[in-house]
Structure 1
């Protein structure tokens, strides 16, 4: 009898294009009790053919049904439901895909929590080619961990925000009985279709709770042929949102804790009885994420082509950056003279014109341009030479003629340089001493559209021996090139690469530089160039000549493609290898490891040292005793009397090892390749190599380790994880020997001489498993190569994860901090990777789209760099961080970058800012952002605060956001910073006991948003009086309830942004909030004759700024305000001193009695605001004083 509930995966199939991947993902589920049902609504036999190909005829796991007649989407869903018999059901759309453990994780959740009616998981959005697109609001998730949410509270969120944050059918699992109850009634022929999935979810949440699993468990494919993109689906969705909103409004049940808030619990606590719910302001969380999403490249892209085009468009200099280019160039020690050399082998005038036009548009002008062509060239600035058959030999004749040139840049007709390409190249040359050759990332031109970017690693000796990955768009230092004798024509197309090898041999690999920017796009794409017969023909001879010059005996094999070189290094001896395996009671795994090692290893000269790390079980102790009594030279037991760390055990064994080479091997390793040790040792014997690691597979035959990328997913990550062993990988890298910064300690070979020279493993510092990474980094620092090779392969049966106790978790945390502090600069710039790629295992070697703004390709700076970490992209984030930073940059006073997310240590190190501005970091979740920067960056830290959040009025909506320890956390955050910047003097005074350097920088208005506003006066029969602002002012507005009621028949009350319930019966208009971009114009369009700014008398409001008056003033509105510290000063306004209804009424009637005088006050206020409070000119000095070091 099966111990887990039956799950039905039902596929309502119609489109065969992606059906194979969908069905295969269902078949690959790691779950025992599963049925898969395909209901085919397609008229062709394509879906059935795929099913028959993938599913065995006698399978009891999957079955196929063809609908006799077309049922349509709704009908096919109901047919699937009718056929299903599982306790739980998952609808899988035919263009989506599940990850292997999706069903297992979701079914376990439903089985464990009986009050949960709906489980959804995060998902990737992918395009037609399975490229993972930028996350957006629909798939960003709710909280950053598995959590259960109160269903009724979620309904209130969806009523307020008509948007589906949960995903579609494929990402969800439900109880079949619930679906049978609801789906037939909402999927009627005239019922829901465009929003059918979300409507069903709404119905389920009326009955029970929601679990959102934070891990990615599925993909949803975006493509023009998907069901939601067909015909009138957009119009149907609009109609159905109206139906859904009516359903939500009509619901009954328990109210949410407050508007925008939901009850939830981390899933790890959901079993607690009684369940004590936490609360989260989900509306505010999602609103904040909206700004984050919109700051990223590709947040609206439905394909990789769209995403990449937007990414490229962001890699151009902004107007402020362009203004600073001349200043930057002058700051260089010298200005390199670069001569592009264009080789036009086809005599293609059109292609040549593309290249010449791109050179004419450069931000840094070429010294001259040389063209080798048989076509005519009209440009008098171009030096034309008739192309000879042997262009390499001809270049040797041309180079001496270019007497003014410092560098030459090899191009082909049809290459299109990006506009900043020569400037970036020149800066790298000028600022990096000793450079002799430069290569870069590149892209393809497909029908003149940008496609196929290639993101290369830094110089990688072993990868270059495998094939010429650097490409052909190479720049060389001319004088050195001449001194070397120029190009060797014998290597034809690869003559420049022969120069690279001679540079490596003579000047060292440090003379070769990589620019991680797409500098050139070409009609002759990277892959097409590599496929040229002349490239393939000379790939092996080129490398063979290099190896011969340095005296390295070798044999070159071609296992995959004729282009790719697999080099077998031939050595005269077979040195002794000491294989070190540590174990503590893992007897079963250890026996399997030893058995596979002794049975399957053909290399003759090795010894095995097994370290008994103080095993406790009697069985293990007996086994170790028996092994030690064998007296074998091949296998020795090394015992520790007291348990130590793995590093301690390995060092102890290394001290007793007899071999010239040490191999650290996991007890969970299984040897299946007979010559695995030969595959490692022939690399380890090379004098330039310090460490070698194999390719490590899981028991299913997929990649676990193929090198390590530093900074990926924290300290180091595993690129290509879960790829099939036979996959080629990005740039063929999964099948090639190459250099990494680190390899896995599960199987790591190191020369004993090198191991001893670097001081062995740092056992005292790293007791929690980081010793292997640290060893790789120290060996690499000494100039040795870390080699990862597929020449050797083994299997690792990873042990079950062990729950760490608090002491162990703290020790690991401390060691990770130590590792970051020791190696962060190297981690942030891993030369085996590329900074344009995701630092995420699941997305390794995939373009990281990054942010829309802040691109800077330079390796040096000539202005202070400010890294702004704002809380949001609107309101306070705009006024206090992003807009001031933009204006300082536009004025040429700083350079900078904005983010609305928490930055990792690697991200901060990559930016290497001079100043970091931390806004709103005063909670337990956010103060660690500052601690992180303090630990890992030398940047000056600024604490930015706009409100006295330590004491918030009871009726302020933000009161719910404030934890009990807000005062302590505020003090802690401030104490971690070098300076505090606030918006008002009262706020500075309130915080004076927390810091000695507090500076006041008043709020100001952005010129482009506020300087040209016009509103109308006397636009209605009655005076228009109103208020505009954010959603946290209930207490302030309730001060004037009696005033609004008293004047309801005499004036038109207008409220914008919020209106408390008590006022709603008496108002004339309410306008909901809008985006920051449209807020000023919207405020002006209210056409108020009088604007009010009531504030409660409270220290929180005393510490606020006069921003409301500034905004009103920019619109020309006359103002009546409460007489709080916030509104005192020289701004012309009528002030109410007691906040009594009588005084408010008296002030309003005074203005109404003399409208012309009132309007003059509005004009005077506008004049003052536009003169003194705009974010420009001398006012920027406030921000410079606040943010920059003295």
Structure 2
């Protein structure tokens, strides 16, 4: 085997701010051999100190100080020259690499000599390392790891000014190529700077192919002070793009197969000969991804703060939703009277006024407002003022009984500002949730008037609440229950309201505590600041001690690093027997380490070890087990298992033979880290309300591997906090405290044996391989027991890395389907997590939500229609988003739109009544619809506007059309409850694909189409023209000779597209523009006559009359082909034969009598406005098409 090539990571360093993180990420690379070269161009010595502070680095590091500042260009060139590696990565001094980055990218360059550029996906993060939402620049444009034709990719950059490939840090190159090209790009320091990375990449693509990996391998940092945001660099961007376009226009080489298309081959098949090249519509993919990015918040944000503010701004009621509020409130079971009580503890009159201002702006007004303050102020009809006493809890005990018109009261402080929907959401929740007696919500901070520091809390979490009062201070209570509980206990001081919450839990149950998972309140005195108050810290232990004393629990409370956090040692007294069940696996060394470490390092000794050898053919394993079986006695038993190859059945079989009061399922790959791990598990497990306990599990590098599990995270269930440092506190201190999760890792799971038996053990029929323990945890919860995770029991796990084989993969997929079917409502709303947080790449990070997706209510006033358009341009607008928007504005539906297929969890959270699936006939579309059918009861409507089975050959949509497109279309339609099409001919040709086909014609939105006007007779010659999309080559060829013939008699005006052969005869050409500007642009053409030619083809027969509607809205007289699409009552001149002679005759007829021609245009406009506008009467068509009968 040849030796792996040396790779150089070069860092042209200038900014020391994030340099240490960049260097650490380089040193963490798993690839060998590797060198790191740092060329320091900074004015200070911070970078040098970081390098000199390294102790035994994992890879050689060479530090080079520039005697004189070189600037980016020359410093980069020096880095490349100093590097000794065959392969080179330029790591920007503020970016980071993930550990396998070099290894995965270098493998591609080693195996494919003609590739000279390898990219991997990257994420953007801000200065605080918060992951930012995806955008076009880091979108996944290829479905798999692919090798792409370099020449083809070059053409893409003539059509987009976005670098979607990556920056320097995302690429790996061959050093020889870079050294040959780079000097010319920075000639005499006057070359590329702002776009230097892309310019280099373009030069490399001219010399060879590139590869793109679909794995995220780097982080690019966005922050205000970075080099690319400096004024001189920003100023240079436009000029450098012009340089790039000039470079691209002058290139030679092979042409792309068609505009926007790139040839590619999957990397896994790149060695096949001949190569199985396919075509990827990259520009089309980028356009679709742009719609996805624009449909979610934060796609252009440069920081977490900016992202959060955009997220917050999107969480408001639309004008249509506000108009429906009286109807919504009327539908409640009862109207709730809420009294906010504002305590001005700081005596800050200005802050108090800001709070009162937010209360005055509520969409659901308070019954009255109580202000307790020593600051001057006037009372009004709606505001009751009293001086604030030092014992405010006692004062409230006297005041609240006198509030006869109050159903609920809401505790606030001066400086708090409620969102305008806060009281509305609270009242709606109270009205529809009879059992609730107390409510808390998510909250945020206000810093200099800016929204920041959101806190996204879990639903009521008993053990987290025992750790510290995470619910916060802004609590709402039922006045009636407050009185029956005797009010606040003044002895609890600052935490008297939290004490009342505990008494409600003790006396009625935890189900009475309602969490509103939304930012209801923002404050100048925010969550973290409140928790750090000495009064809160001092009262925290006493709060929990009093709670535990009331329920008769003996315990000792202690504190580790933070005095606020309570660590509870329950005084159980008993020493129950624990049966530790270990399935032996295939690795004898791993099993030996596990068992020997367990015996040697576990302080608690009242346990038995049950070893199960199932399926192993290793003779050494058999010998060792036999020896252990003879030596073990009562403490260690080796049990045979001859049942099915089913992990759940095996566990159940061994559990039946266990003698212990508690079962501990332990992976054979675990290692014991602390002697008290079993004591800590039992500390929680012996509580009567607890059934399952899990441990903190570390990876071999000491980082977090398992710390509880979140439902729906990266699949049915996943682990948060993966990769966090051992000492990290975690979001809301959740890596440091005992708390409840919905599930815990199967690698170390303790359960009470009587509960295990009562539940029938693991469900070996449904979850034999993978999800049995998660299912067990959920059944435990359903029966009213707690699942507890403790950070104080720590183990280490070295998991097997072998990917599952095909049969195992199929079994896992089947189990996942069953898991979703059984637990989807719980998966979508994991009470231990928060719906605002991501279930994907980064746990506890804010999810970039859909822009129009906010729904804070627990009840529904109207049917919800989820539209899934194919794009955000014409077809998606006319057939989905436009009608939906008008239906919502008219108060007929709640509209939601997504430009990507929602996840199963997202669909469950939305719970739509109808899903409109537009044009779902591509690879994988049918399986996606099937997924929706499995997990949603929504009416599925397949929406189609073209006969895609047979597109004209010259139509651009025909390119790369799958050979089996008719079958894919049939499959998708068959999985839906209804098919909605644009025309009767299209319904007729699809009649054998579905029994319920409904024709809903295209219509125009009143705004702006109803108000358009154009001018007539504006030129010395008649203005005759065509306007439309970019896929009408064959249609325009119908009138090619007409254009030539009349070139001297009329002014030809083309908008959208114009065949090159006709350009010499055209007076004006206007290229295609965005949908928003399209109507006004079409009207501004001031045509005296508009043409709508169509080829005679079944595809065109099935098309709609949309072109006539658009022309008619502008008042243009129209001549069109007499095809099925344009037949009907609309006043137009129709050409029957499509011959040049008939077209010429029709045009000259109109031009000879302009008065009559214009009259026809007026009649067409009147017909369009009457019959084809999305007004109140015509919306009924869409209701009939989309809603259940």
Give the TM interval when normalised to the shorter protein.
over 0.9
Q: Quote how far apart the aligned CAs of 1:990 are.
A: 1.1
Query: Which shifted more, 600-609 or 142-151?
Result: 142-151
Matched with 1:900 is 899
Matched with 2:834 is 834
Q: Does 1:17 align with 2:12?
A: no
Matched with 1:196 is 196
Where 2:1039 maps in the other structure, the secondary structure is helix
Matched with 1:959 is 958
Q: Quote how far apart the aligned CAs of 1:1186 are.
A: 0.6
Matched with 1:746 is 747
Q: Quote how far apart the aligned CAs of 1:59 are.
A: 8.2
C-alpha distance in structure 1 between counterparts of 2:1151 and 2:233, whole Å: 52
Q: Quote how far apart the aligned CAs of 1:620 are.
A: 2.0
Matched with 1:547 is 548
C-alpha distance in structure 1 between counterparts of 2:1109 and 2:159, whole Å: 30
Q: Quote how far apart the aligned CAs of 1:961 are.
A: 4.3
Verify the 8 A CA contact 1:281 1:961 in the aligned structure 2.
no
C-alpha distance in structure 1 between counterparts of 2:58 and 2:698, whole Å: 29
C-alpha distance in structure 2 between counterparts of 1:163 and 1:909, whole Å: 35
Aligned ranges for residues 973-1052 of structure 1 at < 5 Å? 973-1052=972-1051
Aligned ranges for residues 694-843 of structure 1 at < 5 Å? 694-805=695-806, 807-840=807-840, 842-843=841-842
Query: Which shifted more, 1096-1105 or 233-242?
Result: 233-242
Matched with 1:245 is 245
Cα deviation, 1:791-813, whole Å, max 9, x if unaligned, reads 101000011223412x3322222
Verify the 8 A CA contact 2:670 2:798 in the aligned structure 1.
yes
C-alpha distance in structure 2 between counterparts of 1:390 and 1:882, whole Å: 57
Q: Does 1:209 align with 2:209?
A: yes
Aligned ranges for residues 405-484 of structure 1 at < 5 Å? 405-484=406-485
Verify the 8 A CA contact 2:445 2:523 in the aligned structure 1.
yes
Matched with 1:277 is 277
Matched with 2:258 is 258
Verify the 8 A CA contact 1:684 1:749 in the aligned structure 2.
yes
Cα deviation, 1:249-296, whole Å, max 9, x if unaligned, reads 121222212221111123222232321111121111111111111111
Where 1:866 maps in the other structure, the secondary structure is strand
Verify the 8 A CA contact 2:269 2:276 in the aligned structure 1.
no
Q: Quote how far apart the aligned CAs of 1:242 are.
A: 1.2
Verify the 8 A CA contact 1:921 1:929 in the aligned structure 2.
no
Question: TM (normalized to structure 1)?
Answer: 0.98
Where 1:629 maps in the other structure, the secondary structure is helix
Query: Which shifted more, 532-541 or 296-305?
Result: 296-305
Cα deviation, 1:625-659, whole Å, max 9, x if unaligned, reads 22223352111111123551211211111011000
Matched with 1:180 is 179
Query: Which shifted more, 1109-1118 or 1147-1156?
Result: 1147-1156
Aligned ranges for residues 296-375 of structure 1 at < 5 Å? 296-375=296-375
C-alpha distance in structure 1 between counterparts of 2:1064 and 2:778, whole Å: 70
Where 1:607 maps in the other structure, the secondary structure is strand
Cα deviation, 1:1072-1104, whole Å, max 9, x if unaligned, reads 211111111111122222211111111111111
Cα deviation, 1:308-333, whole Å, max 9, x if unaligned, reads 11111111111000000010001001
Matched with 2:607 is 606
Listed as ranges, the gaps of 5+ residues in structure 1 are none
Aligned ranges for residues 875-954 of structure 1 at < 5 Å? 875-954=874-953
Verify the 8 A CA contact 1:909 1:937 in the aligned structure 2.
yes
Verify the 8 A CA contact 1:614 1:640 in the aligned structure 2.
no
Verify the 8 A CA contact 1:614 1:639 in the aligned structure 2.
no
Where 2:53 maps in the other structure, the secondary structure is helix
Verify the 8 A CA contact 1:614 1:642 in the aligned structure 2.
no
Cα deviation, 1:694-722, whole Å, max 9, x if unaligned, reads 01000000001001100111101211000
C-alpha distance in structure 2 between counterparts of 1:2 and 1:471, whole Å: 62
Q: Quote how far apart the aligned CAs of 1:478 are.
A: 0.4
Q: Does 1:524 align with 2:525?
A: yes
Where 2:952 maps in the other structure, the secondary structure is coil
Cα deviation, 1:793-849, whole Å, max 9, x if unaligned, reads 1000011223412x3322222111111000000000000000000111x31111112
Matched with 1:1111 is 1110
Query: Which shifted more, 753-762 or 583-592?
Result: 583-592
Q: Quote how far apart the aligned CAs of 1:736 are.
A: 0.8
Verify the 8 A CA contact 1:2 1:33 in the aligned structure 2.
no
Matched with 1:489 is 490
Verify the 8 A CA contact 1:613 1:643 in the aligned structure 2.
no
Matched with 2:559 is 558
Q: Quote how far apart the aligned CAs of 1:60 are.
A: 6.3
Q: Does 1:1072 align with 2:1071?
A: yes
Q: Quote how far apart the aligned CAs of 1:401 are.
A: 0.5
Matched with 1:100 is 99
Q: Quote how far apart the aligned CAs of 1:526 are.
A: 0.4
C-alpha distance in structure 1 between counterparts of 2:809 and 2:307, whole Å: 40
Verify the 8 A CA contact 1:903 1:929 in the aligned structure 2.
no
C-alpha distance in structure 2 between counterparts of 1:579 and 1:613, whole Å: 16
Q: Count the aligned residue pairs.
A: 1187
Runs of at least 4 residues off by over 4 Å? none
Verify the 8 A CA contact 2:36 2:59 in the aligned structure 1.
no
Query: Which shifted more, 1023-1032 or 663-672?
Result: 1023-1032
Matched with 1:669 is 670
Matched with 1:234 is 234
Where 1:955 maps in the other structure, the secondary structure is coil
C-alpha distance in structure 1 between counterparts of 2:715 and 2:116, whole Å: 35
Where 1:735 maps in the other structure, the secondary structure is coil
Verify the 8 A CA contact 1:614 1:643 in the aligned structure 2.
no
C-alpha distance in structure 2 between counterparts of 1:1027 and 1:620, whole Å: 80
Cα deviation, 1:314-356, whole Å, max 9, x if unaligned, reads 1111100000001000100101100001111122110110111
Verify the 8 A CA contact 1:9 1:37 in the aligned structure 2.
yes
Matched with 1:1095 is 1094
Where 1:442 maps in the other structure, the secondary structure is strand
Where 2:784 maps in the other structure, the secondary structure is coil
Q: Quote how far apart the aligned CAs of 1:2 are.
A: 9.0
Aligned ranges for residues 14-163 of structure 1 at < 5 Å? 14-54=14-54, 61-163=60-162
C-alpha distance in structure 2 between counterparts of 1:129 and 1:1089, whole Å: 60
C-alpha distance in structure 2 between counterparts of 1:1021 and 1:53, whole Å: 80
C-alpha distance in structure 2 between counterparts of 1:1168 and 1:379, whole Å: 60
Q: Does 1:688 align with 2:689?
A: yes
Cα deviation, 1:756-805, whole Å, max 9, x if unaligned, reads 11110111221231111111111111111111110101000011223412
Query: Which shifted more, 406-415 or 1021-1030?
Result: 1021-1030
C-alpha distance in structure 2 between counterparts of 1:1053 and 1:909, whole Å: 53
C-alpha distance in structure 2 between counterparts of 1:40 and 1:555, whole Å: 55
Verify the 8 A CA contact 2:904 2:932 in the aligned structure 1.
yes
C-alpha distance in structure 1 between counterparts of 2:923 and 2:59, whole Å: 52
C-alpha distance in structure 1 between counterparts of 2:637 and 2:782, whole Å: 33
Q: Quote how far apart the aligned CAs of 1:61 are.
A: 0.9
Q: Quote how far apart the aligned CAs of 1:1009 are.
A: 2.3
C-alpha distance in structure 2 between counterparts of 1:1017 and 1:73, whole Å: 58
Matched with 1:866 is 865
C-alpha distance in structure 2 between counterparts of 1:393 and 1:662, whole Å: 49
C-alpha distance in structure 2 between counterparts of 1:693 and 1:496, whole Å: 31
Listed as ranges, the gaps of 5+ residues in structure 2 are none
Question: What's the RMSD between the two structures over aligned residues?
Answer: 1.4
Q: From the superposition, tell whether residues 631 and 306 of structure 1 become closer, same or farther in structure 2 (CA, over 3 Å).
A: closer
Verify the 8 A CA contact 2:34 2:59 in the aligned structure 1.
no
